[in-house]
């Protein structure tokens, strides 16, 4: 009889432990959770799951729901999630400190342009009512610089002879291929389709076609092949001269 009683007690203890564990507050980040690559300045969505988190507390502890609490003249204090960005294990940005508690959540975040590129970032989601309840990205994710181009030559004031060969120079970030176009008085004047996309290695040797006309209102435009809205042009006009004229 005693053995049967002990067995029942053990079963009850196991069942209680299982139930208690299932009621433990938890947060689990799903995105970013490692290996993501997000561009600085872009808008991304952080996702997480949570369970057994109270959305708030009533001044009358017998009232578990906000509408009942407030309808009875009591004060409801909401609980929130705070979301932070970590780099190299240290917090660098508070993304939000007032995210509503719910079973599954998401937050749209525009990544500040003040952040630096790096591959050692993590996101932390924390329960305001108990900071020991939190989760962080399992592995690091990456923030990358947005693509950019800067034309350095010709950048204004140059005099290039028609028919001669000159080097167009530019610097770029996160750009693989570019297209180079010649503008005159603010309008596209010359682009050789046969040249196609050019590897963005920072320089291109250009033999100026003899069909072009002389003028002092030219600019070079270097644009990203995958996204022509990413480009740069000569800061000021340069000149093409016709050496055949006397």
Of the candidate ranges 72-81, 91-100, 200-209, 232-241, the one whose mean pLDDT is the lowest: 72-81
Specify the pLDDT at position 88: 97
Mean pLDDT of 58-68: 80
Tens of pLDDT, residue by residue over 9-60, are 544 444 334 333 346 999 999 999 998 999 999 999 999 999 998 888 888 8
* Contact present, 56 and 161 (Cβ < 8 Å): no
Q: Which residue in 246, 222, 244, 242 sits closest to 160, CA to CA?
A: 242
Distance CA 220, CA 245 (A): 24
Distance CA 75, CA 64 (A): 12
Distance CA 12, CA 23 (A): 17
Specify the pLDDT at position 191: 93
Q: Considering the chain, what percentage of its residues have pLDDT values greater than 70?
A: 89
Of the candidate ranges 150-154, 196-200, 223-227, the one whose mean pLDDT is the lowest: 196-200
Distance CA 204, CA 211 (A): 20
pTM over 0.75: no
Identify which has the larger pLDDT, 115 or 9: 115
């Amino acid at each position: 009889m005693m053995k049967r009683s002990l067995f029942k007690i053990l079963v009850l203890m196991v069942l209680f432990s299982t139930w208690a564990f299932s009621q433990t507050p938890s947060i689990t980040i799903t995105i970013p959770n490692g290996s993501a690559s997000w561009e600085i300045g872009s808008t991304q969505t952080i996702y997480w799951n949570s369970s057994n988190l109270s959305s708030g507390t009533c001044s009358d502890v017998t009232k578990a729901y906000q509408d009942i609490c407030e309808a009875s003249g009591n004060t409801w204090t909401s609980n929130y999630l705070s979301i932070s960005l970590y780099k190299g294990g240290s917090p660098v940005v508070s993304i939000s400190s007032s995210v509503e508690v719910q079973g599954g959540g998401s937050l749209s975040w525009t990544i500040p342009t003040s952040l630096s590129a790096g591959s050692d970032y993590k996101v932390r989601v924390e329960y305001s009512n108990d900071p020991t309840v939190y989760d962080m990205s399992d592995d690091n994710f990456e923030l990358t610089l947005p693509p950019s181009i800067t034309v350095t030559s010709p950048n204004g004031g140059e005099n290039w002879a028609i028919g001669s060969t000159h080097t167009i120079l530019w610097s770029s970030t996160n750009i693989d291929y570019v297209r180079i176009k010649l503008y005159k008085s603010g309008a596209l004047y010359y682009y050789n389709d046969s040249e196609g996309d050019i590897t963005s290695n920072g320089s291109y040797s250009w033999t100026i076609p003899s069909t072009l006309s002389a003028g002092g209102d030219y600019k070079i435009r270097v644009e990203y092949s995958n996204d022509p809205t990413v480009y740069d042009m000569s800061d000021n006009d340069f000149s093409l001269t016709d050496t055949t004229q006397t």
